[in-house]
Structure 1
Amino acid sequence: MPPLMLFDLDNTLVDRNRAFRSWALAFLSQRSLPPADLDWLVTLDCGGYLDRQILMHAACERYGLGDCVEVLLKEYRQTLTGLIELPASHRAALADARAAGWTIGIVSNGATAHQLAKIERTGLADLVDGWVISEEAGYAKPDPRIFRLAARRCGAAGTPDWSADAWMVGDHAPADIVGARVCGLRSVWLDHGRPWPETDYYPTLTAGTLPDAVRLILAATGALVPPRTPGTGQHPAPPYAPLRAPNASEHCFSVNFAGVQRGCTNATSGHRH
Structure 2
Amino acid sequence: MPLLLFDLDNTLIDRDRAFRAWTADFIAERRLPESELDWLATLDGGGYVTRQVFFRAALTRYGVTGRAREEQMAELTAQYREAMVERVCFPGENREALLAARRAGWTLGVVTNGDTAHQSAKIAAAGIDELVEAYVVSEEAGHEKPDPEIFRIAALRCGLDDEELSERLADGTAWMVGDHAPADIAGARVAGLDSVWLRHRRPWPQVTFHPTLMADALPEAVRLVLERQPQPQSRRPLRPGTPAQPSERDHQRERPTGTNPSPRYSGSPGAVAVNVATRPAS
Bucket of the pairwise TM-score, normalised by the shorter protein = 0.7 to 0.9
Q: Could you tell me which residue of structure 2 aligns to residue 70 of structure 1? A: 74
Q: What is the aligned partner in structure 2 of residue 254 from structure 1?
A: none
- Give the deviation of 1:49 after TM superposition: 0.9
After the TM superposition, which of the residue ranges 30-39 and 92-101 deviates more from structure 2? 30-39
1-structure distance, mates of 2:84, 2:136:
21
Instruction: Tell me by how many angstroms 1:109 deviates.
Output: 0.7
Report the counterpart of residue 86 of structure 2 in structure 1.
82
Distance 1:85 1:62 in 2: 29
Distance 2:225 2:194 in 1: 9
Tell me, in whole angstroms, the C-alpha distance in 2 between the residues paired with 1:163 and 1:222: 15
Among 168, 178, 194, the alignment partner of 1:170 is: 178
3-state SS of 2:35 partner? helix
Aligned residue type for 1:238: S
Alpha-carbon distance between aligned partners in 2 of 1:239 and 1:20, rounded to the nearest angstrom: 36
* Match in the other structure for 1:197: 205
Could you say what the CA RMSD is over the residues aligned between the two structures, in angstroms?
1.8
Structure 1's consecutive aligned runs of 4 or more residues displaced over 3 angstroms after TM superposition are 237-240
Task: Tell me if the contact between 2:116 and 2:140 (Cα under 8 Å) persists in the aligned partners.
Answer: yes
The equivalences for 1:41-80 within 5 A come to 41-65=40-64, 68-80=72-84
Within the candidate set 131, 155, 164, 2:159 is matched to: 155
One-letter amino acid of the structure 1 residue matched with residue 216 of structure 2 = G
Question: Any idea what the Cα deviations from partners look like across 1:29-66, whole Å, max 9, x if unmatched?
Answer: 11111122100000010111111111111121112245
Q: Which is worse superposed, 150-159 or 130-139?
A: 150-159
What secondary structure does 1:75 align onto?
A: helix
1:238 is aligned to 234
What is the correspondence of 1:114-129 to structure 2 with a 5 Å cutoff? 114-129=118-133
Counterpart of 2:107?
A: 103
Partners of 1:98 and 1:169 in 2: CA distance: 15
How far apart, CA to CA, are the structure 2 residues paired with 1:223 and 1:103? 13
Structure 1 residues 5, 270: closer, same or farther in 2, change over 3 A?
closer
The verdict on how the C-alpha distance between 1:239 and 1:152 changes in structure 2, with shifts beyond 3 A counting, is: closer
Quick check: 1:143 aligned with 2:151? Answer: no
Paired residue secondary structure (2:201): coil
| 1:32 maps onto 2:41 in alignment | no
Cα distance change of structure 1 residues 153 and 24 upon mapping to structure 2, 3 Å threshold: same
Structure 2: gaps (5+ residues):
237-277
Q: Are residues 1:271 and 2:280 paired?
A: yes
Cα distance per residue 1:219-263 (max 9 Å; x no partner) = 111338xxxxxxxxxxxx8379xxxxxxxxxxxxxxxxxxxxxxx
TM-score when normalising by structure 1: 0.81
Amino acid at match of 1:203: P
Aligned to 1:181: 189
Q: Tell me which amino acid in the other structure corresponds to 1:119.
A: I
State the aligned residue count: 232
- Partner deviation per Cα, 1:191-238 (whole Å, 9 max, x = no partner): 1010001111110000000000000001111338xxxxxxxxxxxx83
CA distance in 2, matches of 1:142, 1:154: 19
Gaps of 5+ in 1: 225-236, 241-268
1:51 and 1:239 map into 2 onto residues whose CA distance is 39
Letter in 1 for 2:115: A
